[in-house]
């Protein structure tokens, strides 16, 4: 499917045809699949009720969203957002039955204030990538197939990973590898990457293998993760979500975030803690102002071993929930 045809789909529901016949055929025969993580915990802790409004800022293939729709019923409303247009289109198909009670938009949650969403009872984010990103070789997320090294969730904007490598200095690249992937020998690897003119996933894989030898298989996922976080500015976007998201909650509203690595989880933990901490008098220690939110999860909820066994992508998931106080 070419980028032009994907763009025709931006922000519209799937009933609309792709003009180019070749792309329509390619699109329609693709198999999309993603197993939602911590599904039961999400529904139990966010507790969607009849008539409530939900904002899912990482719609993916609509797995969690479908259950939200079922729970809020015909009098409820779902706002959905995803940076990835192809996932958004597929989610539109999957959720088509609820089309009259939902509003799906293409975009990044870093721009949350600009979408003009109304206040909501539930705000949900299930961070990171979805299975189609890995399963579709053309997306350049996997070193198991050869393709352009892209790694963007949103291919209509920003810079592919190959370009990031090309324009970064050796030092900048080493910092990306070190900070976002805790990649050992980051400087040595960054130097080799700059010398190798990397354009594809396999070129990157070979470069890591040259530098890291037998350690490469264990370290490749970290290298790809680091580049993905940088290319999508994932931590910057999350910080904005954590700042702006709680402002959208109705009294009693819940915000839940599933994160997949420690850098994300630390941001969620610290932001939720700060919002749930009362202001105290520095001298007496007496509470001056009640915190506007309460923590529903004192510790993050983790998947059961059975879920991890069935879905390896769940293994690092951590789910935290915050609730707006009822006044
Ligand atoms: C783990 S998947 C969500 C899966 C979904 N909960 C489900 O059950 O099908 C994460 C999704 O978030 C999207 N995404 C990641 N970062 C984003 C951002 N900053 N803004 C909007 N969408 C984002 C990805 O494109 C991907 O589709």
CATH code for the domain of 210: 1.10.150.170
Asked, for residue 4, whether it belongs to a domain, the answer is no
User: Which residue out of 58, 237, 242 has the highest number of ligand 1 atoms within 8 Å of its CB and is therefore the one to mutate?
Assistant: 58
Asked, for residue 270, whether it belongs to a domain, the answer is yes
Domain C-terminal end among 215, 231, 247: 231
206: which 2 tokens?
Answer: 């070979």
Pair 40, 67: CB distance under 8 Å: no
Q: Are residues 242 and 223 in the same domain?
A: no
Q: Are residues 223 and 251 in the same domain?
A: no
C-alpha of residue 82 to centroid of ligand 1, in Å: 6
C-alpha of residue 279 to centroid of ligand 1, in Å: 34
Pair 289, 296: CB distance under 8 Å: no
Q: Are residues 41 and 124 in the same domain?
A: yes
The pLDDT value recorded for residue 21 is: 52
Domain C-terminal end among 200, 231, 262: 231
The pLDDT value recorded for residue 326 is: 80
For ligand 1, whether the C-beta of 132 sits within 6 Å is: no
Q: Are residues 176 and 224 in the same domain?
A: yes
Helix (H, G, I), strand (E, B) or coil at 106: strand
Q: Are residues 95 and 210 in the same domain?
A: no
For ligand 1, whether the C-beta of 259 sits within 6 Å is: no
Q: Which domain holds residue 319?
A: 31-132+236-324
Q: What is the DSSP letter of 200?
A: B
Quick one: which atom of ligand 1 is closest to the CA of 130? 2
- Number of structural domains, the chain? 2
Q: Are residues 38 and 125 in the same domain?
A: yes
Domain C-terminal end among 204, 231, 258: 231
Q: Are residues 222 and 240 in the same domain?
A: no
Mean pLDDT per 10-residue run, the chain (327 residues)?
38 39 52 85 97 98 96 97 94 93 96 94 95 80 88 94 96 97 95 94 95 94 96 98 97 97 96 94 88 95 95 94 90
Whole-model pTM: value is 0.89
Distance CA 101, CA 92 (A): 12
CATH number of the domain within which 49 lies: 3.40.50.150
Place of tokens 């370009």: 163
Q: 284-315 b/e with 16+ CB inside 10 Å = b?
A: eeeeeeeebbebbbeebbbbeeebbeebebbe
Asked, for residue 263, whether it belongs to a domain, the answer is yes
Q: Are residues 259 and 201 in the same domain?
A: no
Sign of CA dihedral 169, 172, 177, 183: positive
The pLDDT value recorded for residue 12 is: 32
C-alpha of residue 110 to centroid of ligand 1, in Å: 12
Pair 51, 73: CB distance under 8 Å: yes
């Amino acid at each position: 499917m070419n980028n032009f045809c994907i763009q025709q789909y931006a922000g519209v529901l799937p009933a609309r045809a792709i003009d180019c016949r070749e792309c329509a055929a390619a699109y329609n025969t693709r198999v999309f699949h993603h197993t939602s993580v911590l599904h039961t915990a999400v529904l139990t802790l966010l507790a969607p009720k009849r008539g409530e409004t939900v904002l899912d800022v990482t719609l993916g293939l609509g797995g969690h969203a479908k259950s939200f729709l079922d729970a809020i019923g015909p009098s409820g409303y779902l706002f959905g957002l995803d940076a990835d247009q192809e996932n958004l289109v597929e989610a539109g198909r999957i959720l088509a039955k609820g089309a009259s009670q939902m509003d799906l938009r293409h975009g990044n949650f870093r721009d949350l204030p600009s979408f003009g969403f109304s206040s909501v009872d539930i705000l949900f984010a299930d961070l990171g990538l979805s299975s189609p990103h890995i399963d579709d070789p053309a997306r350049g997320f996997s070193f198991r197939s050869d393709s352009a090294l892209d790694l963007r969730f949103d291919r209509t904007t920003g810079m592919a990973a190959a370009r990031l490598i090309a324009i970064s200095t050796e030092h900048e690249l080493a910092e990306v590898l070190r900070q976002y992937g805790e990649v050992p020998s980051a400087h040595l690897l960054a130097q080799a990457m700059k010398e190798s003119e990397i354009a594809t996933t396999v070129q990157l894989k070979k470069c890591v293998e040259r530098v890291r030898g037998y350690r490469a298989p264990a370290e490749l996922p970290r290298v790809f993760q680091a580049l993905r976080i940088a290319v999508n500015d994932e931590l910057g976007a999350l910080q904005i979500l954590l700042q702006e998201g709680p402002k959208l909650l109705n009294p009693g509203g819940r915000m839940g975030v599933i994160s997949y690595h420690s850098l994300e989880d630390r941001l969620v933990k610290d932001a939720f803690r700060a919002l749930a901490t009362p202001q105290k008098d520095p001298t007496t220690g007496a509470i001056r102002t009640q915190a506007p939110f309460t923590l529903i999860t004192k510790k993050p909820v983790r998947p059961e071993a059975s879920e991890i066994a069935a879905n390896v992508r769940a293994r690092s998931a951590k789910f935290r929930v915050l609730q707006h106080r009822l006044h």
